[in-house]
Each structure stands twice: as structure tokens, then as C-alpha cells.
Amino acid sequence: MPPSRKSAPTRRSRRLRAAPPPPSSEWTALGAELAELGPHRVFLALHVARAAATGGVGVSIEEEDQLAVWFAAVVRLAITRAGELAAVAIWYVLVGDFMRSPTALRPARCPSIAELAVLPGDRDFVTALEAAAPGYMRTAIAGASTDEIAMLRAIVRADAATLDGFRPWGIPLVDDHRSYEDLETARATLIRRNLSNVAACRGVEAWARGSGIATAEHSIPPVLRIGAIAWLALMTLREDEIPDPDPVRARLLAILRSQKEMSESDMTPPLSVEHAA
């Protein structure tokens, strides 16, 4: 019997998944490992997993695939217009969305980005980044609130005026007072010796409150990171490049481009005598 129109997109969507799910044995092993360390570890793991992967309510598999394909096209357009410079900028946006870890490393929140084995300047870096980009969209959807999903859909449909609002610093991240007000108060208080109980408590309070606001000011949600990349690709980068206003940087980039072209020409295999003839 021929497949129905409803079933075909579902199978295609599953084929487009970035990676197969881990085997159930890995989940079982992780649960046993955490249980040995105490019940709080299990509770914490459940708490973090729910926060990271139970968002995106109302987004179907088909829509998730469409959004992932759209983001891949945006990243590809940026790289087409500005080359590896755009790829490096996008890499910093994506890898900067990291998680806390008991090690000194700061692993990227998105598994696809965390698994990148190449860095800017390495061969195949651009290709690897393009391949990993759709996974970041899936990670963003997995942890997105209802409002963030609505914002994500707005980014995809945005006209020029709307998209311009997603430029860096285009959307304020906190409604509270600026962090430096508390931090300056805390610094002026806590550098003193022989503090009174009131001064010590108020100083630590201001330090903690200001640090929390500073974290919110600079903790860019995944949806806004995607919006900034869309702004970069669709609104800012051009086919006819505007000259760099910094002459020193412009000369440096020209030298780097010429060196890259020379290295690529050196790697080109020589023509055979028969072919040259």
C-alpha cells in the first residue's frame, strides 16, 4: 500500500535528525553511577534534564526540521558572503553558549557544537561548522519557553525592520538596574578592613545581587544568539563588501587572504605532462 502524505514527512523528519539517541544502556549506567553518589545527584540530574530538554512545546518534528534547515541556510549564506571570517564569528556565538562543568572546561550546551573536532584556522573548520549548525537550532528548541518559540518563529518570518532589532544589544536582557551600581557599592564596602556586621552583610548582598544582574546582562539566550546570526547574515554582510574603515586591519586581512590563496595553490597537484600538452 502506498504511504500516505501524512506518514512520509514523519519518516523524512526522522532521517533528518542530527544524531541517533544514545542506547538505553547509557541512561541506565548513568543512573546507577549517580545513585551511588547519593539521591541528591539523581534529583539534580532530573532537574537539569527537564530544564534543558523539555521545552519547545508545540513544535512538531516537521517544524523542528524546517527550522534546522532554515538556520543551516542562514549560516551558509553568512559564510558565502564573508568566508571564514563569518564562520569564526558564528563559532564564537555558538560555542559561547556553554554549561557549567566540574572540570576546568566549559562544554558547549549543544552536543553538535561540543563535538566539533576542529577549531578556527583548521582545515575543514567551515565545513564542520556548517554541518553542526542545525544541531544548535534543535538544542535551542529543546530548552525554549513558549515565548522563546514565538520569538524564534518571528525571527524566521522577520522583515528587515524586525530583524534589525535582533542585532547585538538590540534587546535588553534585564529590566532591573545596571549591575555596576551594586558592584561599585560592594567594592567600596568590602575592600575596607574591620567592617561592622551591617556593612559586611550589606556589602556581600550587593556583591551577590550585582553579580547576578551582570550574569543576566551577559547570558545570551540561544534564541537571541540565533537572531544575532540571522541579523549578521541577512542584514549586515553584503555581496559587495564595504571597505574596512580600519586601514591597519584591512591590510592585515589582505595579507592573510593572499597567504591563504598561496597555501591553497601550493597544495594543488601539478598537471601531468600529458594533461599539460
Tell me: the pLDDT tens digits for 136-155? 999 999 999 999 999 999 99
Calculate mean pLDDT across residues 217-246. Answer: 86
Q: Give the tens place of pLDDT for each residue, 153-182.
A: 999 999 989 999 999 999 888 776 788 899
Shared-domain flag, residues 109 and 211: no
pLDDT at 48 over 60: yes
| Number of domains into which the chain is organized | 2
Shared-domain flag, residues 100 and 185: no
Please tell me whether residue 108 adopts helix, strand or coil conformation: strand
Report if residue 228 sits inside a domain: yes
If you count them, how many residues does the chain have?
A: 277
Report if residue 1 sits inside a domain: no
13-17, 101-105, 153-157, 158-162: least confident range: 13-17
Q: Nearest to residue 136, comparing CAs of 95, 170, 165?
A: 95
Report if residue 196 sits inside a domain: yes
Question: Which cell numbers hold the place of 61?
Answer: 518534528
Query: Nearest 10 degrees: CA dihedral of 108, 112, 114, 116?
Result: -140
Shared-domain flag, residues 198 and 233: no
Shared-domain flag, residues 109 and 197: no
pLDDT at 30 over 70: yes
Question: Which cell numbers hold the place of 89?
Answer: 564569528
pLDDT at 25 over 70: yes
Quote the pLDDT of residue 205.
Answer: 96
Higher-pLDDT residue of 123, 5: 123
Report if residue 270 sits inside a domain: no
Higher-pLDDT residue of 9, 54: 54
Report if residue 269 sits inside a domain: no
User: How far lies 54's CA from each of 101, 127, 183, 241, in Å?
Assistant: 21, 30, 35, 42
Shared-domain flag, residues 96 and 210: no
Q: Range of 151's domain?
A: 59-172+223-256
13-22, 73-82, 170-179: least confident range: 13-22
Report if residue 2 sits inside a domain: no
Q: Nearest to residue 84, comparing CAs of 257, 217, 266?
A: 257
Calculate mean pLDDT across residues 216-231. Answer: 93
Q: Give the tens place of pLDDT for each residue, 195-223.
A: 999 999 999 999 999 999 998 888 899 99
The identity of residue 7, as a single letter, is: S
Shared-domain flag, residues 234 and 180: no
Q: Nearest to residue 138, comparing CAs of 88, 67, 191?
A: 67
C-alpha neighbours within 13 Å on the C-beta side of residue 78: 27
Quote the pLDDT of residue 138.
Answer: 96
Q: Which residues contact 117 (CB under 8 A, 6 or more apart)?
A: 128
Question: Which cell numbers hold the place of 260?
Answer: 591563504
